[in-house]
Amino acid sequence: MTAQESEAHVALLVSPGMGHLIPFLELAHRLVHHHNLHATLFVICSGTSAAESLLLQKSSAVNIVPLRPSVSLDPTANFIDKLKAIMSASPPLLRRSLSTAKPRPAALIVDLFGTWGLAIAHELGMLGFVFMTTSAWFLSLARFFPTMDKKMINDHVYNHEPLRIPGCSPVRFENTTQVLENGVYDDFELMARELGTADGILSNTWQDLEPTNIKALTEIETLTCGKAGGVPIYPIGPLIRHAEPNLESEVLKWLDRQPDESVIYVSFGSGGTLSEEQIKELALGLELSQQRFVWVIRPPVDTDSSGTFFTAGNQSGDDKWPPEYLPEGFVNRTKEVGLLVPTWGPQAEILNHRSVRGFLTHTGWNSSLESIMNGVAMVTWPLYAEQKMNAAELTEEVGVGVRVSRGLVSREEIESKVRKIMAEEDEEGRRIRERVKALKRSGERAAAKGGSSYNSLAQVAAECDIFRRQTQLRRAVAA
């Protein structure tokens, strides 16, 4: 038996998108470094994101295998339809890679867009897990969805009635996920049903962050009204990318010159884009707030709030600097207090910097956890996918931010929300900042050796190792 065969080997399959890739890389690293497993990460590549390519180049200790499905994408389709097209062309590539792997992995871990991989794992004699890179609240919705009757769903989608999830807060229509907002949810229902075939579901959260939702998930028969068998739930978060020590960056040099906790960081994640009108209002709102800011800014996209999902980090040689779509004179008027960063910035390092107090964010779950784990309060500005659910939970239940209104957000509202998070004298802002720092400490405890999330992942690793030993024993007996 080789050294590799004496330890469990786990394969992971991740769909395109930085919000998926970052936590999957962190999960793979923890399985290797903390739980003595071998890990192979199959990355389904769109082939167009410079940020994804750079992140993969920097990764170590994990065997990374790109899968490149041949697919023609409709450039006018939304990001979810593009993702579905890419993923639907990928099963043959994954099956071929797994069936020829030596040794055969004991388990396959997939994300929500790769739940079809569970059937391949079971077909090849492997365990199949799902790693949900979203909140436990969204996972609760997904687990309960297959048991909902059509009237309940239609009342939500078409009559805008709240969607009630046993044991959890109801989902108001104004906070609903994008797949329900547009009324086309057959693919979501299929993925939700496939969750029920998993050997376990890993969730990027921890007990103190979402106690009510985790309780609902662990009491699975209540959640599914007795209509579906339970699947073990493993809260293993927070899994985030940590700041790279000694990173050289002009942004970080600028932050070094600012006072402690004096800067608000403005970024809409890897895919988020705003209209030109909204960019102008945001610029004027930041100026009115009189707060120091770092703004990762992208060209406007008037028709798609996820306009750079597949091209994160790409630079356009045609962009003029400073951007012409900003208000006239804005750059000169704010040059002493603000820094504009074109397209992409080192987010983990920025949020970790001593001078950053606030984060104006699209509330992707990955960015939200990075903010919490750096003790940074949020102004939540959801754009697409499940981000409105995240914003509602973070502001109404968790208490780590304030939320902007829907539609075109005015400069006056932006000024008010930014000041609330940043101003020393604002009482609500002070409570929010205290709350986020307390959750930072609890997240560190959960992820540390012996903590609740560490132990959950250790249990998954142990199950993989037991399964490997049992499989080897069966093969030895058969021989």
Distance CA 361, CA 381 (A): 6
Do residue 391 and residue 457 come from a single domain?
Answer: no
Which pLDDT score, from 0 to 100, does residue 311 have? 74
Do residue 455 and residue 408 come from a single domain?
Answer: no
Active site residues: 20, 111
Give the three-class secondary structure for 133: coil
Do residue 172 and residue 282 come from a single domain?
Answer: no
Q: What are the tens digits of pLDDT across the range 407-446?
A: 999 999 999 999 999 999 999 999 999 999 999 999 999 9
Do residue 405 and residue 461 come from a single domain?
Answer: no
Distance CA 259, CA 183 (A): 48
Do residue 87 and residue 224 come from a single domain?
Answer: yes
How many domains is the chain built from? Answer: 2
Under 8 Å between Cβ of 379 and 371: no
Domain membership of residue 421 (yes or no) is yes
Q: What are the tens digits of pLDDT across the range 273-322?
A: 999 999 999 999 999 999 999 999 999 999 888 888 777 767 665 567 78
Give the type of residue at 328. E
Helical spans, DSSP H, in 257-380: 276-289, 330-333, 347-351, 365-372
Domain membership of residue 3 (yes or no) is no
Q: Domain limits at 211? A: 9-241+447-478
H/E stretch holding 92 reads helix 91-99
Strand pairing report for 377-380 and 401-403: parallel
Domain membership of residue 115 (yes or no) is yes
Which pLDDT score, from 0 to 100, does residue 478 have? 83
Residues 233, 234, 239: CA angle, nearest 5 degrees: 135
Q: What are the tens digits of pLDDT across the range 443-460?
A: 999 999 999 999 999 999
Do residue 130 and residue 147 come from a single domain?
Answer: yes
Do residue 270 and residue 368 come from a single domain?
Answer: yes
Do residue 95 and residue 221 come from a single domain?
Answer: yes
Which pLDDT score, from 0 to 100, does residue 317 have? 52
Helical spans, DSSP H, in 335-380: 347-351, 365-372
Give the three-class secondary structure for 100: coil
Under 8 Å between Cβ of 216 and 230: no
Which pLDDT score, from 0 to 100, does residue 98 have? 97
How far from 367 is each of 350, 391, 432, CA to CA, in Å?
Answer: 12, 12, 17
CATH code of the domain containing 90: 3.40.50.2000
Which pLDDT score, from 0 to 100, does residue 102 have? 87
Under 8 Å between Cβ of 274 and 300: yes
Distance CA 381, CA 278 (A): 12
Strand pairing report for 38-44 and 107-110: unpaired
Partners of 9 in the β-ladder = 38
HSE of 263, CA atoms in CB hemisphere, 13 A: 27
- Residue 381, classified by CB atoms within 10 Å of its CB into exposed (0-12), middle (13-18) or buried (19+), is buried
DSSP code at position 312: T
H/E stretch holding 154 reads helix 150-157
Count of residues for the chain? 479
Under 8 Å between Cβ of 112 and 23: no
Do residue 283 and residue 403 come from a single domain?
Answer: yes
CA dihedral 287, 293, 298, 304 (to 10 degrees): -70
Do residue 139 and residue 183 come from a single domain?
Answer: yes
Of 236, 239, 242, 241, which is closest to residue 451 (Cα–Cα)? 236
Helices 18-33 and 452-478 cross at an angle (nearest 10°) of 70
Give the three-class secondary structure for 241: coil
Domain membership of residue 395 (yes or no) is yes
Distance CA 360, CA 343 (A): 16
Domain membership of residue 300 (yes or no) is yes
Which pLDDT score, from 0 to 100, does residue 45 have? 84
H/E stretch holding 233 reads strand 233-235
Which pLDDT score, from 0 to 100, does residue 243 have? 92
Given a cut of 70, the residues of the chain with pLDDT beneath it are: 1-6, 47-48, 60-61, 220-229, 313, 315-319
Which pLDDT score, from 0 to 100, does residue 227 have? 44
